[in-house]
Amino acid sequence: MFRLLFVLFIIIPIIEISVLMQVGALLGIWPTIAIVIFTAWLGAKYVRQQGLATLNSVQTKMAQGQMPSDEIVTGLMLLVAGVLLVTPGFVTDFFGLSLLIPAVRNGIVSSVKVHMANNAGQQSFQFHTHMHNHDASNDDFSNASEKPFQEHIQSPHKGKTLDGEFERKD
């Protein structure tokens, strides 16, 4: 996480400043500022347009009873593209504009789907409680009315695994 933050807040601004200085020296200050403002305006326009199209696609899939997983990833990429395009600089504008190209987005969506499919079978959630130096009958959470039920539990971790159901009542 530290490396990512280091790159985001130290390395990328240094690269942006150096590229802005080189372009400014080549074209002049006012054309450079005009290009930065124009790319931010153009990017915001296309992010809005493609974002609305993605929102319509999400609503259509939800109405059909389908999960809009591709559209969710696309919407996230459009959000990142918008942030990159509003950030002043040519490098971030290049990456932001590249995320507005549907072929680039589709490639990223397919790689995210493959990554998610590979990790889906490997990850699980387990919650265990560990009781040291006492048995389940001395536990603060057990009472006399539950003890007959606890005797019927067929678990190798008897008294150590917390299991239950959740029901939301609004």
Least confident segment among 67-71, 103-107, 120-124, 144-148: 144-148
What's the confidence (pLDDT) of residue 16?
92
Res 143 pLDDT > 70:
no
Residues 6+ apart with CB under 8 A from 16: 87, 88, 89, 90, 91, 92
What's the confidence (pLDDT) of residue 159?
59
Res 153 pLDDT > 90:
no
Res 102 pLDDT > 70:
yes
- φ/ψ (deg, to 5) at 166: -125, 130
More confident residue, 11 or 162: 11
Res 83 pLDDT > 80:
yes
First to last CA, the chain: 37
Q: Name the E strands within the chain.
A: none
Residues 6+ apart with CB under 8 A from 20: 32, 36, 88, 89, 90
Residue 154 token pair: 């067929």
Report the pLDDT averaged over residues 134-145: 51
| Alpha-carbon gap, residue 51 to 64, rounded angstroms | 20
Structural contact between residues 27 and 36, judged by C-beta atoms closer than 8 angstroms: no
Report the pLDDT averaged over residues 73-85: 88
Highest average pLDDT, of 101-115, 117-131, 143-157, comes from: 101-115
Report the pLDDT averaged over residues 124-129: 52
How far, in Å, are 69, 75, 92 from residue 42 at the CA level?
27, 18, 14
What's the confidence (pLDDT) of residue 161?
65
Res 7 pLDDT > 90:
no
When the pLDDT of each residue in the chain is averaged and rounded to a whole number, the result is 78
Q: What is the pLDDT of residues 23-68, one digit of tens each?
A: 999 999 999 999 989 988 888 888 888 888 888 988 888 888 888 8
How would residue 120 be classed by pLDDT, with cut points 50, 70 and 90? low
